[in-house]
Structure 1
Amino acid sequence: MRPALRTRRACRKLATALMASTVMLAGCASAQPAGTQAPASVSARPSPEATGPVAAVYKDLVYRSIDGTDLHLDLYTSAHANGQPSPVLVYFHGGAWARGQRPESWRGYSRFLQRGYAVITVQYRLAGEAQAPAAVQDARCVLHWIGANADRYGFDVDRIVAHGTSAGGHLALMASYLEAADGLDTPDCEGVPRVAAVLDFYGPTNLAQPYNGAASGRHPSVVRWVGDGPGAHDMDVRMSPLTYVGPDVPPTMIVHGDSDDVVTIDQSRELYAALQRVEVPTDMVIVPGGGHGKFPDAEKARVAGEVDRFLTTIGLP
C-alpha cells in the first residue's frame, strides 16, 4: 500500500517519533557531527567561461564542511542582472543518489542566465559516502548558504528556484518542501530561505512505493541510499517528498517521459495529484515516448517553453 499523505502537523510528529530509528541507519543526521560553515571565496577565478551571458564564474566554493570533507558548489552570475539582486537557479544532479557530479559548465543553463538568474550547481554526499538523509541535509545547507551569502553575491532570496533531474529532482523537492520543524536541518545550516518554485524533472516522489523488480519489494537505488536495517521503511517514508505535501509548499512544475522505466511516471502523477488536492500551483508536462531524460530535441524545446511559461505565470522572470 502507498503511504498516506500526511498533513504538516502529522509529518512533524513523525519526524520526532522517528529520531530513534534515524540513529540506527548508517549516515543519518544524528550520526553526523555538525559541520562548520567554511568561508566562501570572494573573488572569481579567472575563467574563459565568463563570457556571453555570464558575468563571473566562481568555481569550487565551499558551502559546507562535514566529517572532514568539503562540499562544493559552482556559481555563475548573470551579465543581465543590471545591478539588481538576481533570482537564483540551484541545480541538483541525478545519479540514483550514488553517482554523478555537478555539470562542469554553465552552458546548459544559458537561458536562465540570459533571464538574469544566477546559477548554482551542487556537489552533495553520495550513498557511498553517507546514506540518507545526508544528501537531503546537504541540499538544505545549499539553501542556507544562498541566504547567508545573498549580500556578497547579489542574490534575491525571495526568488530561489530549485531544479533537479532524477535523484536531483527528488533533492530539489525535499529541500523545498521541508521546514525546520520537520527535524532534518543540522545546527550548522539552520535558517533556510523559502524556495519560490521547484522544477522537478522525473524525480522519485514516493520511496516507499513497492517495486516489483526486487525481491525485497524496494527499489535497489532506494536500498543503496537509505539502507535496509531497522527503520528502513520509516526512512523511505520520511525521505519521500509526498510526505510533506501541503498547501504551503512552493509552486511545482513536473516533467516526465511516459516511457521512463527507471523512475516510472506514476511517481510524478501521484505528486501532481497531491499538489492539486491542496491547491498548490502546479503543472505537469508529459513527454510522449520519453525515457529517463532521453527526450528528442523538439520535446526539449517544448519543455523549455513550458518552463518559461510556468515561471512567468507564478511571477518569476
Structure 2
Amino acid sequence: MSLDNPLTVLYKEINGSKITTDIYLPSTSSASPQKYPVVIDIHGGAFMLGHSRMVSLPQVKDCLDRGWIVLVPNHRLCPGVNLLEGPMQDIRDLLTWIHDGHLNKVLCSHGAYSADIDNIAAFGTSSGGTLALGLGFNIPRPVKAILSLYGAVHFTDPFWKTPLPHVASKLPPNLDPGFLSQTYQEIPIPTDSSVSLEGQSEAEGSKGPNFSRPRDAFAFTQIANGTVMDAIYPDGKTTDPDMERIDPVKNVSAEFPPTWIVHGLEDTMVPIGLSRELYGRLREAGVQCGMTEVPGEEHTFAMLMKVGSRTWWLQREGFDFLEGIIGEGPQTAPN
C-alpha cells in the first residue's frame, strides 16, 4: 500500500454525509498477527476547508517508519454544522469507532495487522491540531498522547475577532453576500473542499483558493474579517456556553493526555502566544508536555518544509514525544 493509494473506509454516516478515513499501513514481512500503535492525523483548513489527502505525506511516512498505523480522517465542514456538533464530534466518533473494534475488523482482511487500541495518539495541523486536542477532554476514553502543530486555541483571546489585512488583500473586491451564503446551503454537509489553508489545491498547477467557488470565498472572507468564530458557530451562537466546551485552553486538567505543541515564531494566522497560553495551562496542571518554537516559520509550514531541513528536525521533536508515550510497532499480538 503506497502513500498515494491508502485504504479508504466509511466510519460514519449522518444526514446524508458519508464520512471516511484513509488508512496507511506500515511495511511488514510478518505472516503472524502484529499489533501496531495507531496515530490519527487530522487535516487543517479553519474547520471550513480541506480533506484527508491534504496532509503532509512526509509526516505520514515518518509515522509509518516508526511502525504506526496512520488514520487520516475527513470530517464535516462548517458552517452547515457547528464546530462542536460537526468536526469535533466526527473525530471523536472516529476514536469510538476504533475503540469499538471496527478498525481491527477492517484490518483482518489486510495482512498481519492489528490495532493496539491501548496506544492511540492524535496530531493535526491548524484546525486539525484543535481537533486532535479535542480527543483529550470531555470524552470517556481519551487518546494516550497529542501533538498540536499550530492548532487554533484560546478562543476568548481578542485575536479571534481581529481582522487580518494580509488575508483581505487576497480577496476580490465586493464579494456578493448572496454568493457567500451559498456555503450554508450545501446539503448534505460536505466533508471535503478542493483547497486548504496549507497551500494545496486539487486544480492542476494551482497553489491557492479559487474565489469563484463560494466555499473558498466564504472561508477566506471570515478569516480576513476576524469572524471565523461566528462562521463555525452559525446563527449567533458565539456566546453559547458550548464555546467553553470547544476550547482546549478551558479544558486542561491533571487528567489531560501528555501533549506536545509545535508552532512557528512568525505565525500570523494563529499567533504563537495562543499556543504558549495552552502550554502554560498544561504545565500548571502538571500534564506531561513540551513545546517546540520553530524560528522563521509562518502558519501551515508543515506542508512546505523540506525533509532534512532545520524545521523538519525541530517538528520531529513532537513525533519523538509521541513515540515515547505510545512506543514503536510492531508487537506480536496475543493468540
CA distance in 2, matches of 1:178, 1:166: 21
CA distance in 1, matches of 2:117, 2:47: 27
- SS of the residue 1:300 aligns to: helix
CA distance in 2, matches of 1:230, 1:205: 18
1:73 Cα offset (Å): 0.8
Higher deviation after alignment, 306-315 or 127-136: 306-315
Unaligned runs of 5+ in 1: 1-49, 181-192
Match of 2:209 in 1: none
- SS of the residue 1:124 aligns to: coil
- SS of the residue 1:75 aligns to: strand
1:151 Cα offset (Å): 3.3
CA distance in 1, matches of 2:57, 2:264: 23
C-alpha distance 238-104 of structure 1, shift in aligned 2 (>3 A): closer
CA distance in 2, matches of 1:96, 1:105: 14
CA-to-aligned-CA distance 1:170-198 (integer Å, 9 cap, x gap): 00101222224xxxxxxxxxxxx431111
Could you tell me which of 1, 10, 25 is aligned with 1:77?
25
- SS of the residue 2:321 aligns to: helix
C-alpha distance 167-315 of structure 1, shift in aligned 2 (>3 A): closer
Could you tell me which of 154, 164, 176 is aligned with 1:206?
154
Could you tell me which of 59, 65, 89 is aligned with 2:13?
65
Give the letter aligned to residue 7 of structure 2.
Y
The RMSD of aligned alpha carbons is 2.6
Match of 2:312 in 1: 301
CA distance in 2, matches of 1:135, 1:206: 18
CA distance in 2, matches of 1:70, 1:254: 31
**How many pairs are equivalent?**
252
C-alpha distance 225-104 of structure 1, shift in aligned 2 (>3 A): closer
Match of 1:19 in 2: none
Higher RCO by CA contacts (8 Å cutoff, separation 6 or greater): 2
Match of 1:119 in 2: 70
1:228 Cα offset (Å): 5.4
- SS of the residue 1:162 aligns to: strand
Match of 2:127 in 1: 167
- SS of the residue 1:172 aligns to: helix
1:146 Cα offset (Å): 1.1
CA distance in 2, matches of 1:163, 1:230: 28
Contact 1:245/1:275 (<8 A) preserved: yes
1:66 Cα offset (Å): 0.6
Contact 2:42/2:128 (<8 A) preserved: yes
Aligned pair 1:254/2:265, yes or no?
A: no
- SS of the residue 2:64 aligns to: helix
Could you tell me which of 221, 245, 248 is aligned with 1:238?
245
Contact 1:76/1:106 (<8 A) preserved: no
CA distance in 2, matches of 1:104, 1:240: 24
- SS of the residue 1:163 aligns to: strand
Match of 1:128 in 2: 79
- SS of the residue 2:142 aligns to: coil
CA distance in 1, matches of 2:55, 2:267: 27
Aligned pair 1:98/2:48, yes or no?
A: yes
Could you tell me which of 59, 75, 97 is aligned with 1:145?
97
CA distance in 1, matches of 2:63, 2:79: 32
Q: TM-score, normalised by structure 1?
A: 0.72
1:311 Cα offset (Å): 2.6
Match of 2:175 in 1: none
Unaligned runs of 5+ in 2: 108-113, 165-221, 329-335
Give the letter aligned to residue 84 of structure 1.
Q
C-alpha distance 125-230 of structure 1, shift in aligned 2 (>3 A): closer
- SS of the residue 1:85 aligns to: strand
C-alpha distance 204-81 of structure 1, shift in aligned 2 (>3 A): farther
